[in-house]
Amino acid sequence: MEQRTVEVINPRVPMFGSGCLVAPGVVLTAHHVACPGGDIQPVTVRDKAGRTTQAEVIWADAALDVAARDERTATPGG
C-alpha cells in the first residue's frame, strides 16, 4: 500500500504539519499550516522517503481549517 502521509512545511512562518495524499499529487492539510493569515504561497511537501516538492494552493477554507495543495503543477523543490 502506498504511503499517504506527508509533511507540509511552510518556511515563511515557519510552521509544519501533516498532510494526506488524497489523489495523485494532491495533498489535504490544515489551513493554519498551509495558508496562515491567508498566505497562499507554495509550501514544501516531504514524503516518508525524504523527497520534497513545492505545492500550490488549489482550494482552501479557513472556517473548516483545511486546504488542498497540488504538487503536480508546481516546480520540484528541495
Rg of the chain over Cα atoms, rounded to whole angstroms, equals: 11
In 1-78, which ranges are E strands?
A: 5-10, 15-23, 26-30, 43-46, 52-61, 66-70
Instruction: Delineate the domains of the chain, giving CATH numbers in brackets.
Output: 5-70 (2.40.10.10)
| pTM, entire model | 0.81
Q: If pLDDT is split at 50, 70 and 90, which confidence band does 78 have?
A: very low
Tens of pLDDT, residue by residue over 5-45, are: 999 999 888 889 999 999 888 999 999 988 888 888 889 99
